[in-house]
Amino acid sequence: MKLKIFILILSTLFISFNAQVLYNYPKGQTFYEGGRQGFNDDIQEIVVKNNMKPCEKTEALFMRFIVYPDSKVKYVADTDTVAVKNNKCMKDKVLEIMKNVKNWKVAEVDGNKTAAMFCTLFTDDLLFKNKFSEIDFSMPVYMHKDKESNIMKFRENFVKCFDANGYKANVDYSFTINFDVDTSGEAGFFYIDNQSNLEKFNRMVVDCASNTKKSYWKPSYYKGVPVKQVFTMPIRFNANYSN
């Protein structure tokens, strides 16, 4: 059965995204029969069956989809419009492929089927079974005061920015902030696991993880094409003490 692909518009600020759609699949669950390898095998078979051709130039596009309880799949429209425009061939080809993909597995929470997202970097190397090499990829680079640094410096700056005064509690509290670094190096699509019920607190988390004039990102690349990268950073506050 063919699946209709819809366009779902989400705001860059993802903090208010609630449990109606999970940011990712629960631990131990997968979005596809046979896992990611099963998904790759099936889309590669579709490419061969439909005699699809590689794009005229190297294209690489990070794409998100939502699998709903009825197994319908929706594409999450990307706010990184430059990347979408520069990789139009890849986007169009993937959306065409997805109409023929069928072995989805729906996420479950407490025995109830729940909509959940999954994401993949799509390239012709993936679609045509070509081998990936580590030298084809470069990770995002965190820049602080115009000097190259790393994720540890990002974490250090986040902690310095974060003012926990007024939020001390008698119990330990931890959360995880998830965000993208897009093809322009902009941090966005924020999502907080175990977010606070205080909007001011959540806003501070996003503000401290965002780019500033002094600290920002250079994007990731695949074969010279800028690509989106996802980061996950756990934060823990001990009772009456923050770190």
pLDDT attached to residue 159: 87
Task: Quote the pTM value.
Answer: 0.86
Q: Which residues contact 25 (CB under 8 A, 6 or more apart)?
A: 31, 107, 116, 118
Please give the distance of CA 147 from its chain centroid, rounded to a whole number.
Answer: 26
Please give the distance of CA 60 from its chain centroid, rounded to a whole number.
Answer: 15
pLDDT attached to residue 198: 84
pLDDT, one tens digit for every residue, the chain (243 residues): 334 443 343 433 443 444 489 999 999 999 999 999 999 999 999 999 999 999 999 999 999 999 999 999 999 999 999 999 999 999 999 999 999 999 999 999 999 999 999 999 999 999 998 877 888 999 999 999 999 999 999 999 998 898 767 666 666 778 899 999 999 999 999 999 888 888 888 899 999 999 999 999 999 999 999 999 999 999 887 655 444
pLDDT attached to residue 201: 87
Q: How far apart are CA 213 and CA 216, in angstroms?
A: 7
pLDDT attached to residue 171: 65
- Calculate the dihedral angle through the C-alpha atoms of 78, 83, 86, 89, rounding to the nearest 10 degrees: -50
pLDDT attached to residue 60: 98
pLDDT attached to residue 166: 66
Residue carrying structure tokens 């974490």: 155
pLDDT attached to residue 163: 76
pLDDT attached to residue 173: 77
Within 10 angstroms of residue 53's Cβ, the number of other Cβ atoms is 11
